[in-house]
Structure 1
Amino acid sequence: MAAWRVHAYGALAELRLDEARVPPLRAADELLVRVHSSSLNPLDVAMIGGYGRHALNVLRALEGARGGSGAGGAGVEFPLVVGRDFAGEVVAAGAATRLGRGARVWGALPPHWPGAHAQYVVVKERWAGEAPSAGAMAGSPAAGGALYAALTACSALRVAGLAGGRGGRGRRVLLLGLGGVGHAALQLLARRGFDTLVGCAGELAERARAAGASAALDRHAPDYAEQLAASGPYEVILDCAGLGGWEASARDRRWRFERYVTLTTPLLRYMDEWGSVLGGAAAAAELARQSAAAAAAAPRGFPPPHVRWAYFYPRAEDIELLRRLASRDQLAVCVERAWGWREAGAAYARAAQGHARGKLLIDFAAS
């Protein structure tokens, strides 16, 4: 098969289109999928530069020790194939799988697993599910760019305490950022009836309102901070804009909220620098400091807020929920551009520039 791979960490110049062996099934719960489409996420570019290498190699080694596929073998790091989500067709299935040969599927892969920017990928069945069979996403390359962002959004809402129990009526949420994760999170919040205010670039305001935002504030407006403060209080502030946990204490005392959830954390960076134990301890200490700072900055008479960190996590229940929503056109993916798989180098170059206004797709059905 053909695969986009890097053989050493560094710049995108390390990336090349290689001939590679089709990965074998190594466990009864695995599927071999012919990839039809996949997307580029900021994590893919960061991983090529070496981000998360320590923690991910620990996970690869553990996977190899259990006899899993790891990165092509026990503890193998290179060649590295990135690409976290995909849509495609099952061409071989392990004995313990429910999905069989010929099934149209979509899925998302954890960062330590071999990626989907290849013509074939092996995936644990619990990280995949039946692809939408109805709605605008059915048969569309956009399905290959949906799940990594949407599953990350599901995880963030769970961490924020917004995913289960009572609905969203009467509960106000501030969503910062309208990239892939933010757009998915907004649609999930709107579906459950949350009053969601979005802070985003002005040109994305119409998209935010179409996806269910009660209002959209232009983050470039000179009075943006004042508008955010005046629009509160919020039950949750959800940071999908890369601001990080310290932003929870960066505003004045009119900044009123109960929980601040961010997807931007130093955990993998600290583990890269200091190893698993010391890096994990340093990250835990920083999270505690962020919460303490947010509590100290809270207005008098308002309960002290706290900071939480959220991460991508693939759950079979979430994948099925997202399939149902997509089939009813209640989950959409905004696409900036799709490239044929032989031209994927240009897609990586675009991803490295940042500030994409939609998903960047690799379409394996196009030459």
Structure 2
Amino acid sequence: MRAAIQKSFGGPEVLEVTEVAKPELLSGEVLVRVHASSVNPVDVAVRSGAFPLLGQPPFGVGWDISGVVEEAGPGARYEVGEEVFGMPFFPRAATGYAEYVATPSRQVARKPAALSHVEAAALPLAALTAWQGLVDRAGVKAGDRVLIHRAAGGVGHLAVQIAKARGAYVIALASAGKHDYLRELGADEVIDYRTTDFTEAVQDIDIVFDSVADGERSLSVLKPGGVLVSILEHMKPELAAAVQAAGRRFAGVSVEPDYAALEAIAELADAGLLRPTIAESLPLEDAGKAHELVASGQLVGKVVLTVDATE
């Protein structure tokens, strides 16, 4: 099968599409014929060596997949022909930029019927990050005032929709050019972080969803008992201690595979309450270009690789 593999750390050019052995199944696993795989900032950091999560190359990056079950091992939850999506193995290697991925069947869920494979592939890592932070850790509920940093980003635009689907009042931080887009997603207020200090513009926030490592300032806008959800400073004990000392709650999030949350995310998508924005869709051979786009930090939404499986 074809897969994008890197033999060294470096720039996007180290990603090479090459022929590798198709994965073999174990009990409880399914072999997914991948239709699409999305690119996340963590992929870029791992590829470059800035975040050596997988040790030394060679390896293949990528975790988000959407495709069709090609084979099902004994005890697997799905049958051949079913469409599934998920984020297998994270934070261990999954080699998601490939024609086939073998995964424990409980690390994927049935693909939302309302979404294409390209759209479904854009969801797992980003939507699970938002869901595990807002729903599982913070317990977002109707009437909560939720402040979302980088609200137009890959995680942020899904966090806006998940919070709204749970009945929250959403305040989104983003540059001015993205405000109309965020209002269309359901944001109740939008603030231009470039011209306005959010700590002076808002107070009495129930939940801050921090995806920019601005935990200390975010703490200042939380009401007593409020929750600071951090996806970049989750391993910063001094921040957790400061939040707790202030009478607030710290919720550090390190995303993990979770089929039950994926099923809930799929329900939102099928109900028309959650839809990823696709900034670019590129063929597998353009994995390097996809990394360049994600690394630019200028996109609204997600970058997805399309994969045509061949025997």
Q: TM-score, normalised by structure 1?
A: 0.77
CA contact (8 A) 2:17 2:284 kept: no
Deviation digits for residues 261-310 of structure 1 (CA, Å, limit 9, x no counterpart): 1111274xxxxxxxxxxxxxxxxxx42x22444577xxxxxx63343311
CA contact (8 A) 2:133 2:251 kept: no
Alignment of 1:1-367 (within 5 A): 1-25=1-25, 27-53=26-52, 56=54, 78-109=57-88, 110-133=90-113, 135=114, 137=115, 139-158=116-135, 160-163=137-140, 167-169=141-143, 171-178=144-151, 179-221=153-195, 224-225=196-197, 228-240=199-211, 242-248=212-218, 255-257=221-223, 258-265=226-233, 267=235, 286-287=236-237, 289-294=238-243, 304-365=247-308
Pairwise CA distance, 1:322:
1.2
Which is further off, 108-117 or 304-313?
304-313
CA contact (8 A) 1:292 1:306 kept: no
CA contact (8 A) 2:199 2:218 kept: no
Q: Which ranges of structure 1 fall in alignment gaps of 5 or more residues?
A: 58-76, 268-285, 297-302
Q: Distance in 1 between matches of 2:214 and 2:253?
A: 11
Tell me the matched-pair count: 306
Q: Distance in 1 between matches of 2:45 and 2:292?
A: 12
Q: Distance in 1 between matches of 2:40 and 2:111?
A: 20
Which is further off, 87-96 or 228-237?
228-237
Pairwise CA distance, 1:102:
1.1
Could you say which structure has the higher helix fraction? 1
SS in 2 for 1:184: helix
Pairwise CA distance, 1:21:
0.8
Q: TM-score, normalised by structure 2?
A: 0.90
Q: Distance in 1 between matches of 2:288 and 2:27?
A: 34
Q: Distance in 2 between matches of 1:51 and 1:192?
A: 36
Q: Distance in 2 between matches of 1:19 and 1:48?
A: 19
Pairwise CA distance, 1:52:
4.5
Letter in 1 for 2:155: V
Pairwise CA distance, 1:113:
2.7
Q: Distance in 2 between matches of 1:266 and 1:13?
A: 31
Q: Residues 266, 6 of structure 1: CA spacing in aligned structure 2 closer, same or farther, 3 A cutoff? A: farther
Letter in 2 for 1:187: Q
CA contact (8 A) 2:210 2:218 kept: no
Alignment RMSD, CA only? 2.3
Residue matched to 1:65: none
Pairwise CA distance, 1:175:
1.1
Deviation digits for residues 173-209 of structure 1 (CA, Å, limit 9, x no counterpart): 1111121211111111111111111111212212222
Q: Which ranges of structure 2 fall in alignment gaps of 5 or more residues?
A: none
Q: Residues 86, 174 of structure 1: CA spacing in aligned structure 2 closer, same or farther, 3 A cutoff? A: same
Pairwise CA distance, 1:228:
4.3
Q: Distance in 2 between matches of 1:256 and 1:87?
A: 37
Pairwise CA distance, 1:129:
1.3
Q: Distance in 1 between matches of 2:95 and 2:214?
A: 26
Pairwise CA distance, 1:14:
2.1
Q: Residues 343, 13 of structure 1: CA spacing in aligned structure 2 closer, same or farther, 3 A cutoff? A: closer
SS in 2 for 1:180: coil
Letter in 2 for 1:344: A
Letter in 1 for 2:68: E
Pairwise CA distance, 1:128:
0.7
CA contact (8 A) 1:39 1:83 kept: yes
Q: Distance in 2 between matches of 1:51 and 1:338?
A: 25
Q: Distance in 1 between matches of 2:244 and 2:233?
A: 19
